[in-house]
Structure 1
Amino acid sequence: MLVVYALTAVITGAWLIKIVLAKKVIFRRSFWDWPLVLFFLSQVISYLFSIDRQTSFWGYYSRFNGGLLSVISYLLLYWAFVSNINSRITYHVLRITLASAALVAAYGIAEHFGIDAQYWVQDVKNRVFSTLGQPNWLAAWLAALLPLGLAFAVNLELTTYNFKLKKVISYLFLVISFLCLWYTKSRSGLMAAAISVGVLVALQLAPRFKRFWPVTIVILAGVGLIGGKILWDRNRQDIRYVLGFTDKVEITPQMVNAGGSKSADIRKVVWRGAIDIWRHHPLFGTGPETFAYSYYWYRPREHNDLSEWDFLYNKAHNEYLNYAATTGTLGLVAYLILIGSFLVWSVKKVISCQLSVISSALAAGFTSIAVTNFFGFSVVPVSLLFFLFPAFAVTISDTKDEIRETKENPKIFASQRLISAGILLFTFYFLLLILKYWYADAQFSKAEKLGKAGQYNLAYGAASSTVSLRPFEPSYHDELGLDLAGLAALAQNDKTATLSAQLAKMAVEQSTQALKISPFNLNFWKNRIKIFYRLGEVDGQYYQQALATLLQAEQLAPTDPKIKYNLGLLYAQFGQTETAITTLEETVKLKPNYIDVRYALSLLYRQIGRKDEARQQLEEILRIDPQNQKIKDMLEKK
């Protein structure tokens, strides 16, 4: 995303200088202007009502995509392209896009045969992701570009220069892209690709069969109704659960070594949580990119039955529900208008026989994104296509080709030079800010790795530099607090009590600053608990602060079993055995297959003489994990 920000700064700066030198506003109106303005306003309003404006502006840290700044960037890129690029250059841009996609797809195929298998924890030979980081993201991107590749292949004229070579290259792209798409094993991507090709064919055939349109519409409506009825009958209980009409749902708690949960089970639980957020914040949502925070407020208990129960979900795994949860009904409607306006515009062009095969492919690719977004969410490459496909279509479909090269003005006034220099300075300033952001992120990553390795002295240096570079970024204060707490514990071990106390105070201050900026970030609360645990070695009073922090975290995430588990352990540490047992019993209700909790319960039960209940917990552990030799030995001894 930082690269997109840099390109946006350069492109916007060049556009403004062009306007200054031409002494006129260079802006071409398009059908998408008002839908974009409406969408932007919906994001701004949601940002103003956000529970975390820092995240809503910059985007969730490490992703950066989806915040208000990224929306501004995409809109500027759309308008800059439409206002400055003609159809001839657009075709070149599309060819370059397909060429880059071919390279990415080729690497994905090589990945399937193990070219980089040794570098990844994931089974990349089974499900490739090439340079995009995740199979479904790669699939969504390729599925959107496939119709474009097909359109270029069938659109070549016999009179085209190097016709045969270009024909071979076009079909080679299709083969490589589809093969890579197949190796992603992404069902949503493959389905979207099939639908997009169908849309492309339909858009091209539609003008020839106008008299059959009424019949076709009736047939499609009938198929849709029948399909909806079948879907409802087969998934009635799941749909009712997702919509919040019932709490009954079939999700089998994961046993040890039983494999991962089905993606359908994961989605219906996360979607239920997203709809609950929307239900409680119906107008403006909780703010762009705040799903990672608000989801914990309404996180379904059934989430604990999934194999990914301890994963952080910063997206709803459905772009539409994500907009509904984070930007409310206003944001969702604006997003749907954005999609619908382009598709309606394309259909109107079909009716008037003004839609070329390339423009049809762009509409088909856009449809593909709409499909994959239902089962996932857009990452930066897909978001770029979402906002630029309509721009490509506008420039290609303009038969008048209104964009002309601005003639050089023989006389450039001093005022124009001065304004242009000012724009250049601002552009370089923005690029410098982006460079600082990149460097701070690199230092943050370094600090995280060093901190996890226990090298707190080195981690402190890296984390301190991040705070100096970007003092308003809460993640940097959070990491610095963890590293300072580690240093405080080391100083205590070295018998330097004064230094240890100073470092402890600084650690708490940094954690407090992180939560002051992002008060609903559960990870910051969990890290604050870690800080107090570490500082407990320095001064026992910090354990009391750990307890208070755990209670606050429990309010933010009432169904998170790990928080309750740690709360129970801390009660036990304080000698409050009965309270600890009650807390751990509540934890078991949240997550019945939580082995650590049941083991802790068995120890506490035995401690107060409830031996039968202690044995029951051990037997339940063995049922969850039949190969647990430690538990087998304990049961044999007792």
Structure 2
Amino acid sequence: MNLSIPILVILFTLYPLIYVHTFPETFFIRWVILLMAGLIAAYIMIRNKLLRKNKCIIPLALFISFVFISTVFSHYPYEAWVGISYRFTGFLSYLCFAVLFLLAFSVAFREPEKVNKIIDLWLLSASIIASIGLLQYFGINLIPDGTGVFVVNKSYSTFSHSNHFGTFILMVFPFAALRFLQKPGIRSTLILILIYGSLLTSLCRGAFIGMAFGFIILVRYYPVKKYLLSAAVIMFLVTAALMPANNWMLLKQIATAQSELDMAVAGDPKTGSFRLLVWQEALKALPGSIVIGTGPDTFLYISQEKFEEVQGKGWPGKAHNIYLEIWVTMGLLSLLSYLWFLKSCASDTNRGIPIEFAFFLMVVIYLIQGFFLVDVLSVYPLFWMLLGFYAGLTNRRIDTDIATS
């Protein structure tokens, strides 16, 4: 029995629905599931000889190799291999990400028709997650987190943190939008409303920025303009409906952009919830991480005393910028090979094919929000699997075109 499809379906539909109230435990459970999925995926790949030569392999192998070297020479071996207790994004996780990428690539290349079916199931799961988030914003909390049922809050749904939820929903948005643009109907309209609405109620400013750029790219480069105006009208109406809710909480969050900009100009380390401080310390550490970094998931230690002095011991231990994070903890060579890997996944995109355009848009907006947010275990495995689908579909199309030419 080929378990490739069931593994991917479970990870796309059920993995994001996992919720445990306490922070370390929810990440630990996801990490255990990730390790099990990675082992099963590796077994499937080896037994069925599914590994196929493609131009993503070399940059991926280089990236994993450089991350491995940073792990081996790290002064913080436990964190480098496993990860800090409330993140679990050490080397073992990256190894699983790579294996799941290869599995998704294999499925997309061999059975491309399965990709759209899995994406549709993912959209259904994401719509449920988005609905939970929207209810939270309107004072009905279905998540047993100890805060009570009738409590108004920004949306975080099953992700424990609104930024993680915002990142997840941002990844879903291109596929929800493209489904609507392909075939407007009750189902696609409802999914678009839920996804876009819950993205707004996450109040995640990094996701807002990614969303804004994403919509501009969609309008500018998507070749079929027929239903773009309808999509824009729907999004405007959703925004207008949500804006006055909870004493204009959404508008107030958007309005903080000006004050944050003023703080940044003044050099206030509290800018962006202490992001400016974190970035300043990260920049100081860059020269020492040209070849190897401090080890995956060890960013906490580059200036631990200063971080804890300013923000306390509960600070998140991440760079709030995926590029600085990779450079400092895994080395500049890791960052360059990672960017090469991403480019190799996206370089053959045919924007006239809706599913390929959706993947392209997903990668772009994920990388844009990556300037302000972090890769987390609740979202990042899905990104790698989506990359696998993306690269597999484009490689399959190119091979088919060559064979028929």
Give the C-alpha shift of residue 62 in structure 1: 3.0
Aligned to 1:177: 195
Change (3 A) 1:280 1:395: closer
Aligned to 2:59: 35
Matched residue type, 1:94: I
Q: Which moved more, 1:263-272 or 1:105-114?
A: 263-272
Which residue, out of 280, 283, 291, partners 1:272?
Answer: 280
Asked if the contact 1:277/1:295 (under 8 Å) is kept, the reply is no
Matched, 1:296 2:294: no
Aligned to 1:15: 45
Aligned to 1:555: none
Which residue, out of 208, 213, 237, partners 1:190?
Answer: 208
State the secondary structure of the residue aligned to 1:131: helix
Change (3 A) 1:107 1:152: same
Aligned-partner Cα distance in 1 for 2:272–2:42: 42
Asked if the contact 1:238/1:249 (under 8 Å) is kept, the reply is yes
Asked if the contact 1:90/1:395 (under 8 Å) is kept, the reply is no
Change (3 A) 1:18 1:189: same
Aligned to 2:382: 385
Asked if the contact 2:346/2:391 (under 8 Å) is kept, the reply is no
TM-score (norm 1): 0.48
Asked if the contact 2:207/2:369 (under 8 Å) is kept, the reply is yes
Which residue, out of 390, 396, 399, partners 2:397?
Answer: 399
Aligned to 1:285: 293
Aligned-partner Cα distance in 2 for 1:146–1:378: 18
Structure 1 alignment gaps of length 5 or more: 20-25, 157-163, 208-233, 240-247, 252-261, 403-638
Structure 2 alignment gaps of length 5 or more: 1-30, 226-259, 401-405
State the secondary structure of the residue aligned to 1:399: helix
Give the C-alpha shift of residue 316 in structure 1: 1.1
Asked if the contact 1:35/1:337 (under 8 Å) is kept, the reply is yes
Change (3 A) 1:124 1:11: farther
Matched, 1:205 2:223: yes
Give the C-alpha shift of residue 29 in structure 1: 2.7
Give the C-alpha shift of residue 119 in structure 1: 3.8
- Counterpart mapping for 1:434-513 below 5 A: none
Q: Which moved more, 1:101-110 or 1:316-325?
A: 316-325
State the secondary structure of the residue aligned to 1:145: helix
Aligned-partner Cα distance in 1 for 2:262–2:292: 29
- Counterpart mapping for 1:172-571 below 5 A: 172-205=190-223, 238=264, 249-250=267-268, 263-264=271-272, 266-296=274-304, 299=306, 304=309, 306=310, 308-346=311-349, 349-350=350-351, 355-397=352-394, 398-399=396-397
Aligned to 2:8: none
Asked if the contact 2:67/2:330 (under 8 Å) is kept, the reply is yes
Change (3 A) 1:118 1:6: closer
State the secondary structure of the residue aligned to 2:126: helix
C-alpha distance after superposition, 1:519-566 (max 9, x if no partner): xxxxxxxxxxxxxxxxxxxxxxxxxxxxxxxxxxxxxxxxxxxxxxxx
Matched residue type, 2:93: S
Aligned to 1:136: 163
Aligned to 2:127: 102
State the secondary structure of the residue aligned to 2:331: helix
Q: Percent identity?
A: 22
Aligned to 2:36: 6
Q: For CA contacts below 8 A with separation 6 or more, give which structure has more relative contact order.
A: 2
Give the C-alpha shift of residue 190 in structure 1: 1.5
Give the C-alpha shift of residue 55 in structure 1: 1.4
Give the C-alpha shift of residue 401 in structure 1: 8.0
Q: Give the number of equivalent residue pairs.
A: 332
Matched residue type, 1:52: Y
Larger radius of gyration: 1
Matched residue type, 1:115: I
Which residue, out of 67, 76, 80, partners 2:99?
Answer: 76
Matched residue type, 1:98: L
Change (3 A) 1:206 1:92: closer
Aligned to 2:71: 47
Matched residue type, 2:387: P
State the secondary structure of the residue aligned to 1:375: coil
Which residue, out of 109, 116, 125, partners 2:152?
Answer: 125
Change (3 A) 1:9 1:273: same
Give the C-alpha shift of residue 172 in structure 1: 0.5
Give the C-alpha shift of residue 57 in structure 1: 1.1
Aligned to 2:243: none
Aligned to 1:210: none
Matched residue type, 1:103: I
Give the C-alpha shift of residue 132 in structure 1: 0.7
Give the C-alpha shift of residue 15 in structure 1: 3.3
**What is the root-mean-square deviation in Å for CA atoms of aligned residues?**
3.0
C-alpha distance after superposition, 1:320-341 (max 9, x if no partner): 1111211122222222223333
Aligned-partner Cα distance in 2 for 1:206–1:278: 44
Asked if the contact 1:200/1:361 (under 8 Å) is kept, the reply is no
Asked if the contact 2:264/2:271 (under 8 Å) is kept, the reply is no
Change (3 A) 1:118 1:63: closer
Aligned-partner Cα distance in 2 for 1:133–1:124: 15
State the secondary structure of the residue aligned to 2:285: helix
Asked if the contact 2:51/2:106 (under 8 Å) is kept, the reply is yes
C-alpha distance after superposition, 1:103-132 (max 9, x if no partner): 100111111222238844599723110001
Aligned-partner Cα distance in 2 for 1:203–1:368: 14
Give structure 1 regions of 4+ aligned residues with deviation exceeding 4 angstroms: 120-124, 234-239
Aligned to 1:91: 116
